[in-house]
């Protein structure tokens, strides 16, 4: 085998995921697609670097952490682990350094190195031509979608979530994007496949042709970010920070020989940055301009997929209409989800996610298709040939199946290379169908009754087995677990991952090979039962039991402690059953005392009488209520929240408040009539 350094390199990235909540099937889709590409490229002989990670800075992280009463670093620590665990569950492996967190020191160094490089080059430029300059920014910004809504100070609502956007007015560092219009357009003319698919490339070109505005790349109002070198009042604005992670992960900004370490030199520029369609502009316009300004090579290709829709709407954490990957994997297995996503969604276009379609595909294509073919053929080889692979008859050498198989293998490879996974899988399953047809036509189970037919039956089973072997190699990038199993059942040694997919050859299955004992690689499932099990596990993720109370939603905020970082809120307007409501024990409380907590300007320590005991609750209301005005006040307390520690103090419950206005001002719920402490709300 070639040493990695003798091989051609291939560098592929997923976007880094916001660590403000847990991943859902939509986020898993991007990573699964990239893993398929990475596996395919490895099987073509490339030394592949595959990078993913979490985007951990910015206002949305700060805001999510505050809502949950935890620090931003606690929140991102927890959530990045959920991402890592999911990739592990999905069989997506990478060396530890290729999972990049933007809060890591190596990333701080890389971002600062990139900007220093740019500032250094700016020194040789006239001030009006410098890539980076300081100016006042005034605009409206949506903290939930982490996007500018308008570049004027007038009030505006976020077009994505509809919430009022916040006013931002401060001095920032700007990047002179407007100066890169021509260079970008030249690049697009030279590199004809810079953005995939074509129609998205056209959108990018039109956007750039219409003229570019300079963009702000730092913030003063945010604390949770990477400090600007020599001007630490500013932190980097998310996109400059996030995009640089693609270089950090392979060593940019590390080592003693300046900023170009050997791994970086080998792998940069990226061959593919893959992502969902909504973030193409940052990758195909901003990122190349940032790199041009720093004198670095540009990524070779930006590849965008569509959205995974849930009942025709984009799945989103803020809308709460999400499906999760973990329950699907636990009920149907890792391959089922991967196969479904690549087979059902035409890459590049939006696709609908449906649990029903997922299970139908699983049963039809995997259980009844490839799985059933493999187990029937292997059973017959075991029964009729004592588990030893028979040989094909010489006159069957150039059988139609062989010719078709080789043709389909070539087509599948071309489709993988062109990101047409849907078509590639169709070709592979055509091979499965052809082998099935041959069995139906030849009826080996009947013909075996006459001993004179043994050689012919052996030949049929050989050809069917060889088709299964080829299909397994070709399908491996998409369904790695089951194909490896089938590979071993066929008596093949080593890892399928090491087989050259672009050099498959009919006839490499050796007659005389001892095969394994057949077992179902894809057991059939009962649709209703599987669907119910998945639904139940999803509910548990959305509304974890009392050990993990659900987080307060941004719109129906409650103030205080408690809440699981990763818990998703139910969709706005979604109905819950009375049994869900009954899980929350709310009681009337009377505030006995309240005091500020040293070092925490938002928290108050409140002692509340809830009838049978006086509880200590930490509430994030210090900026809106004084301790004095709280004493004697009747409040509503969520009494059965799991205790949690903040600033070293324990909080045993939550005080309920409305969240008012864009800044989420808490207004405590209370009673105008006389009610005793401890009375239950129901
Ligand atoms: N943090 C930025 C990316 C920075 S890259 C330098 C970000 N994060 S994200 O978590 O919001 O999205 C990450 C990826 O998940 C994107 O590719 C996005 O398109 C993908 N998806 C999130 N929801 C999705 C669907 N419903 N369907 C398909 N992909 C989805 O953007």
Question: Mind listing the pLDDT tens digit for each residue in 607-617?
Answer: 999 988 889 99
Ligand 1 centroid, distance to 27 Cα (angstroms): 6
Q: How confident is the model at residue 439 (pLDDT cuts 50, 70, 90)?
A: very high
d(CA 65, CA 160): 22
Q: How many residues does the chain have?
A: 682
Give the pLDDT score at 563.
30
**CB burial readout 271-293, b (16+ within 10 A) else e:** bbbbbbbebbbbbbbbbbbbbbb
CA–CA separation, 376 vs 382, rounded Å? 10
Give the pLDDT mean for 151-171.
86
The preferred substitution site among 246, 276, 322, 325 for testing ligand 1, maximizing ligand atoms within 8 Å of CB, is 276
Give residue 302's pLDDT band: very low, low, confident or very high (50, 70, 90). very high
The dihedral formed by the CA atoms of 551, 30, 319 and 641, expressed in degrees to the nearest 10: -10
Mean pLDDT across the chain, nearest whole number? 88
Q: How far is the CA of 70 from the centre of ligand 1 (A)?
A: 24
- Return the pLDDT at 320: 66
Q: How far is the CA of 157 from the centre of ligand 1 (A)?
A: 22
Gap from CA of 145 to ligand 1 centroid (Å): 11
Residue 634, CA atoms < 13 Å, CB-side half-sphere: 14
Q: How far, in Å, is the centroid of ligand 1 from the Cα of 238? A: 14
Find how far residue 351's CA is from the centre of its chain. Answer: 16
Tally of CB atoms within 10 A around 349: 13
The pTM of the whole model exceeds 0.85: no
β 9-18/47-55 pair status:
parallel
Determine contact, residues 5/36, Cβ cutoff 8 Å: no
CA 316–ligand 1 middle distance (angstroms): 9
Output the six-digit token pair for 234. Answer: 């500013």
Atom 12 of ligand 1: nearest residue by CA position = 17
Structural tokens at position 479: 């369904």
- Counting atoms of ligand 1 from 1, which one is nearest the CA of 278? 19
For ligand 1, atom 20, which residue shows the shortest CA distance?
27
Question: What are the strands of the beta sheet with 302-305, ordered from one edge?
Answer: 99-101, 47-55, 9-18, 272-276, 302-305, 195-196
Between 236 and 644, residue with greater pLDDT: 236
Contact assessment for residue 37 and residue 29, using Cβ atoms and an 8 Å cutoff: no
Rounded-to-integer distance, Cα 476 and Cα 332, Å: 17
Beta strands in 583-630 (DSSP E): 586-597, 600-609, 614-619
Point out the ligand 1 atom lying closest to the alpha carbon of residue 24. 23
Give burial (CB, 10 Å; 0-12/13-18/19+) of 463.
buried
Rounded average pLDDT over 451-462: 96
Q: How far apart are CA 474 and CA 153, in angstroms?
A: 55
Query: Which two three-digit tokens encode residue 403?
Result: 């010719």
- Which residue CA neighbors atom 6 of ligand 1 most closely? 243
**Nearest ligand 1 atom to alpha carbon 27:** 15
Task: In whole angstroms, give the CA distance from residue 193 to residue 202.
Answer: 11
CA distances from 197 to 52, 122, 270, 378, 626 (A): 22, 35, 18, 42, 57
- In the block, residue with structure tokens 């293998």: 409
Q: Which residue has the higher pLDDT, 23 or 394?
A: 23
Q: What is the mean pLDDT of residues 24-29?
A: 92
Work out the number of other CB atoms within 10 angstroms of the CB of residue 475: 26
- 649 by DSSP, 3-state: which? strand
Instruction: Give the torsion through C-alpha atoms of 232, 238, 239, 240, to 10 deg.
Output: 10
Mode of pairing for the β-strands spanning 227-228 and 132-142: unpaired
Mean pLDDT on 241-261: 85
Select from 18, 23, 30, 299 the residue to mutate for testing ligand 1; criterion: most ligand atoms less than 8 Å from CB.
Answer: 30
pLDDT grade for 539, boundaries at 50, 70 and 90:
confident
pLDDT at 561 over 70: no
* Ligand 1 site residues, Cβ closer than 6 angstroms: 15-18, 26-27, 29-30, 55, 242-243, 275-276, 278-279, 307-308, 314-315
Mean per-residue pLDDT for 157-186?
A: 92
Supply 549's token pair: 């109370």
């Amino acid at each position: 085998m070639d040493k990695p350094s003798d091989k051609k390199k291939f560098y592929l990235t997923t976007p880094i995921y916001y660590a403000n909540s847990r991943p859902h099937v939509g986020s898993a889709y991007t990573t699964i697609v990239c893993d398929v590409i990475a596996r395919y490229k490895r099987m073509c002989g490339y030394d592949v670097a595959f990078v993913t990670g979490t985007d951990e800075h910015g206002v949305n992280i700060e805001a999510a952490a505050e809502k949950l009463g935890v620090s931003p670093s606690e929140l991102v620590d927890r959530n990045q682990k959920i991402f890592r665990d999911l990739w592990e569950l999905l069989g997506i492996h990478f060396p530890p350094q290729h999972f990049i967190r933007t809060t890591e020191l190596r990333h701080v160094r890389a971002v600062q190195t990139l900007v220093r490089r740019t500032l250094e080059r700016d020194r040789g430029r006239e001030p009006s031509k410098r890539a980076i300059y300081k100016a006042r920014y005034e605009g409206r910004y949506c903290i939930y979608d982490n996007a500018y809504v308008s570049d004027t100070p007038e009030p505006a609502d976020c077009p994505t979530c509809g919430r009022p956007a916040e006013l931002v007015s401060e001095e920032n560092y700007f990047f002179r994007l407007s100066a890169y219009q021509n260079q970008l357009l030249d690049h697009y003319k030279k590199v004809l496949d810079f953005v995939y698919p074509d129609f998205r490339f056209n959108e990018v070109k039109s956007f750039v042709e219409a003229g570019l505005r300079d963009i702000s790349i730092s913030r003063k109002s945010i604390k949770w970010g990477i400090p600007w070198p020599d001007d630490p009042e500013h932190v980097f604005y998310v996109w400059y920070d996030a995009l640089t992670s693609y270089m950090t992960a392979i060593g940019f900004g590390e080592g003693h020989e300046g900023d170009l370490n050997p791994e970086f030199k080998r792998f940069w520029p990226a061959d593919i940055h893959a992502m969902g369609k909504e973030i193409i502009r940052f990758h195909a316009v901003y990122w190349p301009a940032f790199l041009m300004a720093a004198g670095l090579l540009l990524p070779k290709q930006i590849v965008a997929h569509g959205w995974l829709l849930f009942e025709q709407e984009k799945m989103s954490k803020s809308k709460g209409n999400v499906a999760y990957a973990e329950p699907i994997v636990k009920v149907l297995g890792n391959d089922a989800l991967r196969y479904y996503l690549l087979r059902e969604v035409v890459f590049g276009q939006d696709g609908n996610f449906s649990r029903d379609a997922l299970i139908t595909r699983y049963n039809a294509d995997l259980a009844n298709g490839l799985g059933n073919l493999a187990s029937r053929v292997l059973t017959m080889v075991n029964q009729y040939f004592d588990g030893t692979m028979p040989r094909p008859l010489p006159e069957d050498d150039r059988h139609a199946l062989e010719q078709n198989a080789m043709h389909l293998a070539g087509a599948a490879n071309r489709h993988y290379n062109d990101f047409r996974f849907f078509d590639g899988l169709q070709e592979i399953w055509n091979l499965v169908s052809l082998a099935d047809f041959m069995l139906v036509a030849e009826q080996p189970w009947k013909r075996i009754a006459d001993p004179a037919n043994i050689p012919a039956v052996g030949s049929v089973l050989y050809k069917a087995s060889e088709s299964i072997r080829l299909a397994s190699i070709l399908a491996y990038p998409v369904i790695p677990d089951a194909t490896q199993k089938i590979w071993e059942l066929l008596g093949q040694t080593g890892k399928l991952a090491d087989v050259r997919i672009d050099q498959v050859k009919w006839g490499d299955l050796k007659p005389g090979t001892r095969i394994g004992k057949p077992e179902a690689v894809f057991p059939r499932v009962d649709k209703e039962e599987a669907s119910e099990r998945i639904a139940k596990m999803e509910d548990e993720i959305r509304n974890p039991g009392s050990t993990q109370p659900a987080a307060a939603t941004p719109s129906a905020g409650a103030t205080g402690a408690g809440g699981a970082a990763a818990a998703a809120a139910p969709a706005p307007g979604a109905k819950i059953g009375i049994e869900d409501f009954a899980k929350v024990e709310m009681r009337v409380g009377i505030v006995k005392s309240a005091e500020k907590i040293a070092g925490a300007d938002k928290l108050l320590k409140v002692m509340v009488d809830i009838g049978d005991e006086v509880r200590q609750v930490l509430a994030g209301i210090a900026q809106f209520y004084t301790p004095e005005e709280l004493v004697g006040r009747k409040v509503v307390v969520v009494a059965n929240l799991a205790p949690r520690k903040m600033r070293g103090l324990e909080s045993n419950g939550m005080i309920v408040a409305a969240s008012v206005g864009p800044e989420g001002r808490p207004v405590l719920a209370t009673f105008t009539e006389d009610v005793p402490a401890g009375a239950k709300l129901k």
